[in-house]
């Protein structure tokens, strides 16, 4: 392993260790588990195929909790190091700053992967006992969720390099919400008669990532096969976009003064 990889791994391991020793994370996980159990209750009020409603609510819950953790931990990723001044000893080591940033990003990504893994296992167990073991589509949907979180975390990391956690949360949340309505935004703008509004929505559509493409939960719930090409395109899109966002984060982080 090269020196750079070893250093990135060391920072990632430290970030992961810090996250898993944070009690707040367990509180979020606890409430997520409660939510999954509560999803069972949704069949009592659901119309139509009640089993599918339960599966849909469960998967939706995992996706929301994943996003909350990504934003909650991501926005403080760099800011906390600066605020608590632990950056002094970290950035004074003979480690280029881009390696520090990548290490922190991968540490958070690993935390999210473990979280989503735990929640998926809980979901499998609950649905398995209740309705029979879920099909492979559920795991494809969770994989797509991880791709989405890969991108959302990159945005949270980017905002964390220059904004306070509160501002960074607001920015990331904006990206998350607009990203999920990107297609609707485009359609909405296209239908408008106002040229300025049309242009604005088009610009937003092009800048903000299209997070809707990672949502294949409906297909998973209904057992509709998800084409491999769709998965491949989503993977390439997530990795390409994430690389660009992280590159921008590295440029900003490189130029920062730590007072």
Partner 1 sequence: MTSAIRTEKLGKTYYSGFLRIPYVALQEVDLDVPEGSSFGFVGANGAGKTTTIKALMGLQRPTAGGAWIHGVSILDPAARARVGFLPERPYFYEHLSAAEFLDFYARLTDVPASERAPRITRLLERVDLLRFRDVPLGKFSKGMLQRAGLAQALIAEPDLLVLDEPMSGLDPIGRALVRDLILQERKAGRTVFFSSHILADVEAICDHVAMVDRGRLVRQGRVSELLEGATLHVEVVVRRGDVVETRRVPPAESDAAIDAARRDGWTIVSMHSVTKSLEQVLLGDVDRSRPLETKRLGVLA
Q: What is the DSSP letter of 134?
A: P
- Verify binding: residue 27, partner 1, rule CB under 8 A: no
Q: What is the DSSP letter of 224?
A: P
Q: Phi, psi at residue 213, to the nearest 5°?
A: -70, -20
Minimum CB–partner distance for residue 107 and partner 1 (Å): 12
C-alpha torsion 247→252→253→254, nearest 10: 90
Buried b / exposed e across 47-70, counting CB within 10 Å, b at 16+?
eeeeebbbbbbbbbbbbebbbebb
Count of residues touching partner 1 (by CB under 8 A): 29
Among 95, 122, 202, 231, binds partner 1 (CB under 8 A): 95
- Verify binding: residue 4, partner 1, rule CB under 8 A: no
C-beta of residue 116 within 8 angstroms of C-beta of residue 149: yes
Among 30, 85, 194, 232, binds partner 1 (CB under 8 A): 85
> What binding mask, one character per residue, do residues 32-71 give for partner 1 by CB under 8 A, x or -?
----------------------------------------
Among 94, 196, 228, 229, binds partner 1 (CB under 8 A): 94
The DSSP annotation for 7-23 comes to: HHHHHHHHHHHHHHT-H
Minimum CB–partner distance for residue 50 and partner 1 (Å): 44
C-alpha torsion 123→124→130→133, nearest 10: 150
Among 44, 193, 195, 257, binds partner 1 (CB under 8 A): 257
**For partner 1, which is the closer residue by CB, 10 or 46?**
10
Q: Which of residues 196-255 bind partner 1 (CB under 8 A)?
A: 255
Spatial CA neighbour of 77 closest among 149, 170, 178, 161: 161
**For partner 1, which is the closer residue by CB, 9 or 192?**
9
- Verify binding: residue 96, partner 1, rule CB under 8 A: yes
Applying CB under 8 A, the span of 28-36, 42-50, 95-103, 133-141 interacting with partner 1 comes to 95-103
Among 44, 47, 48, 89, binds partner 1 (CB under 8 A): 89
Q: Which structure tokens are listed for 58?
A: 């469960």
- Verify binding: residue 6, partner 1, rule CB under 8 A: yes
- CA geometry: angle 9, 14, 20, nearest 5 deg: 120
Binding site for partner 1 (CB under 8 A): 3, 6-7, 9-11, 14, 17-18, 21-22, 84-97, 255, 257-259
């Amino acid at each position: 392993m090269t020196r750079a990889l070893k250093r990135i791994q060391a920072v990632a391991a430290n970030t992961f260790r810090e996250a898993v020793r944070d009690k707040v994370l367990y509180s979020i996980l606890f409430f997520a588990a409660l939510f999954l159990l509560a999803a069972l209750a949704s069949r009592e009020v659901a119309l139509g195929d009640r089993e599918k409603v339960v599966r849909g609510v469960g998967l939706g819950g995992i996706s929301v909790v994943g996003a909350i953790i990504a934003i909650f931990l991501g926005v403080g990723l760099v800011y906390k190091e600066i605020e608590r001044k632990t950056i002094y000893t970290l950035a004074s080591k003979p480690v280029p700053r881009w390696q520090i940033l990548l290490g922190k990003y991968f540490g958070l990504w690993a935390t999210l992967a473990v979280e989503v893994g735990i929640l998926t296992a809980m979901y499998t167990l609950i649905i398995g006992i209740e309705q029979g073991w879920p099909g492979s589509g559920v795991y494809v949907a969770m994989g797509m969720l991880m791709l989405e979180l890969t991108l959302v975390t990159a945005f949270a990391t980017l905002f964390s390099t220059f904004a306070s956690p509160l501002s960074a949360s607001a920015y990331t949340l904006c990206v998350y919400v607009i990203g999920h309505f990107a297609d609707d935004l485009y359609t909405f703008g296209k239908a408008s008669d106002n040229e300025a509004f049309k242009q604005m929505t088009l610009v937003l559509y092009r800048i903000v990532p299209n997070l809707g493409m990672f949502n294949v939960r409906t297909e998973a719930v209904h057992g509709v096969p998800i084409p491999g090409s769709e998965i491949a395109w989503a993977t390439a899109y997530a990795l390409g976009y994430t690389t660009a966002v992280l590159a921008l984060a590295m440029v900003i982080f490189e130029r920062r003064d730590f007072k």
